Every structure is written in structure tokens, then in C-alpha cells.
Amino acid sequence: MLEQPQRESTYLKLARELRTAILRHDYPEGVRLPTEAQLAEHHGISRQTVRRAFQDLVAEGLVHRVPGRGTFATPRDEQYLRQFGSVDDLMGLSIDTRMRVVTPLHRRVDVDAAGRLGLHTDRVHKLAFVRLHEDTAFCHTAVSLPPAVGQLLESVPELTEPGTPSASTVIGFLDGRLPEPIAEAEQSITVAEATPELAGHLGCEPGRALLRIDRVYQTVAGQLVELAISHFLPEHYSYRVRLRRSGR
């Protein structure tokens, strides 16, 4: 039986709301974010809770404080920096990145992917796409889906027509079509060399060291529904995750 997810702390919820607003460019350069007092009053929480949320955003590099003036969004550069602590954060990639399909959704035999998805068949649905931030490709992702899951996406043009841009994510498309929502993902992080194909999609030289992240997603019922293998350019991407001690 899956463990029920813990309720999100108030400061984490506020940090998530502010992070989303910043990534939507609700606070462009020079526009001050609401003060601690304003946020505390608006949300009915303590200023200490607001301060803790701001501390998280400062640590992530999303905001900076100017003494006597307030808190401002940090000017963006070409590096894509995000913090991922939940499946919702991964779905939030649609806020400020775009997906462009390079290999449309299709069926094929893939023994390794089928095994990692716990299937009784060797056939899976596959697709591949690059993810762009401000027109810069920073990630290539190859997705494998169980046949029954892949069939749910066969009518989605953003996944079946090459070159079609989309503001969504594959798990975003799936979450509204599956009988149960996606609950968690198990991931592994390694380093891999860029193959000629990856190099062509990411605009780097073959053999270049890339960050590789494998994720297997499952629903609240424990069904494995997606294997995603992503390769990131390190100069355009930083990965940051929060580690907490248990019981705190």
C-alpha cells in the first residue's frame, strides 16, 4: 500500500505560489514583490512563515532582497534553475518552458523499457521531445509508456505531430486521462555522454558529458505509467532538491 502524502507545510505552499508567479513574469525586473506584512495579512499567516518562504526563494536564486526597498525577482540569465521536490513541481515545467516533439508517439518493441515498466509484453508506446527555455534547448527526453497508457494519448496532436510546440508536459496530459492521478516518481541521476543524435538535438558536440535523469512515474494505485529518460546540458540547467531529516 502506498503511503499517503504528507500535507504540504504552509510556508512551502506560499513559496510554491510565489515561485509560480515569478516564473510567469508577474514580477518583472524592478517590480517589488509584496512585503512580508502584506503577504501575512492576505494569507492569514504569521510573518515568520512568510519569511521562511522568502528564504527558500532566496536560496533558489529566484529572488533577492534590497535593504530598504524590498524583495525583487532575480534577473534571468540563460541558465535554467528550478527546484523540484514533488510531481507538481515537474508538472509546473509548463509555466516557463516549451516542449517540442522530435519523435512522435508510436509503438515499438523495447525490451528494456518494458521491463522497467513491469510489463508482460515487449511493446511500448514511445516518443521523444526537446524542452526549451527562452528558445534554448536544454533537455532531451525519451518517454516510454505501457500500451494501455499510450493509447490514451494517441489523439493528442502535441504528441503525435513532429515539431509541434506545447506548453504542457506528458504527465500533465496523462494526469487528466488516467483513472487515478499520478502520485509519485522514482528517479536516478547519473552522467552520460552525448550520442550523435542527442548532440544534434541539444546543439553540442558528441561525447559531451550530460546530466541524465531517469524517472518512473506511478499512480496512487501503484500502476507504473511512464518511464522518462532525460539528458540535460549542464551549462543551461541546474538541478536542486531539498533534503530533510525525518521527523522534522
| Cβ atoms of residues 46 and 37 within 8 Å | no
Instruction: Round to whole Å and give the CA distance between 57 and 152.
Output: 37
Instruction: Round to whole Å and give the CA distance between 154 and 104.
Output: 10
- The domains of the chain, with CATH numbers, are 10-73 (1.10.10.10), 80-240 (3.40.1410.10)
Instruction: Round to whole Å and give the CA distance between 157 and 152.
Output: 12
pLDDT(149) > 80? yes
The H or E element that residue 132 is part of is strand 123-133
pLDDT of 247: 53
The dihedrals phi and psi of 56, each to the nearest 5 degrees, come to: -60, -45
Taking the whole predicted model, whether its pTM rises above 0.95 is answered as no
| Cβ atoms of residues 232 and 239 within 8 Å | yes
Q: pLDDT tens digits, residue range 74-123?
A: 776 544 445 545 545 555 555 567 899 999 999 999 999 999 999 999 99
Q: pLDDT tens digits, residue range 179-226?
A: 888 888 888 999 999 999 999 999 999 999 999 999 999 988 889 999
The dihedrals phi and psi of 65, each to the nearest 5 degrees, come to: -100, 140
